[in-house]
Amino acid sequence: MVRALNLSIGDKLKTAAYFILIIVAGFVLPLVLIFIAHYTGFSEIFEEIAKALVILFLILKLPKLKWQIFATIIFGFLFGLSESIFYLNNIFQIGDFSIFWWRFLTAVPMHIVTSLIILFFAQKNKKFIIVGTIIVIVLHLLFNQVINIFL
């Protein structure tokens, strides 16, 4: 039996607006962050801080934990997919399109997992989001080091 949430129309609209903003953030943030990472060389730090901010200011506003988890998975997936698409320029310069699939099959799950880790820590206490963000920055750095070995 499916139980409906007793949300007012305003709360339903607000929840829908949060989901739309989360989807847009998943698509757009990598585009903005690619330029920042290019000039600073610290993509991992900026990406994970940006994801933590989306989780803090959008995803945690959703009324149910299941929705927060679902939104985090969608956000991480779109973030990784969008980032992979924006890296196509680099892939075309190298001349090996198979790198896209390699990126897609590794970077997308990594972004989903790191987003979920941040959410996990934020669920315990919003102050712990900093701890979660530091952990995923280290994981992202390690991921990039391993990927660079294979590419």
Residue 119, Cβ neighbours under 10 Å: how many? 25
The answer to whether residue 73 is domain-embedded is: yes
pLDDT, residue 84, reads 86
Each of the 151 residues of the chain gets a pLDDT tens digit; together they read 445 568 899 999 999 999 999 999 999 999 999 889 888 988 999 999 999 999 999 999 999 999 999 999 999 999 999 998 887 776 777 777 777 788 889 999 999 999 999 999 999 999 999 999 999 999 999 999 998 887 6
Give the integer Cα–Cα distance in Å for 117 and 43.
Answer: 18
The answer to whether residue 138 is domain-embedded is: yes
> How many domains does the structure of the chain reveal?
1
**Nearby residues of 80 by Cβ (< 8 Å), 6 or more positions away:** 104, 107, 108, 109, 110, 111, 112
Q: What angle do CA 25, 32, 89 make, to 5 degrees?
A: 110
pLDDT, residue 151, reads 66
pTM, 2 dp? 0.91
Give the integer Cα–Cα distance in Å for 119 and 113.
Answer: 10
Helices in 1-151 by DSSP H: which ranges?
A: 9-40, 43-57, 65-86, 88-94, 98-124, 129-150
The answer to whether residue 9 is domain-embedded is: no
> Whole domain around residue 81: which residue ranges?
29-150
The answer to whether residue 5 is domain-embedded is: no
The answer to whether residue 49 is domain-embedded is: yes
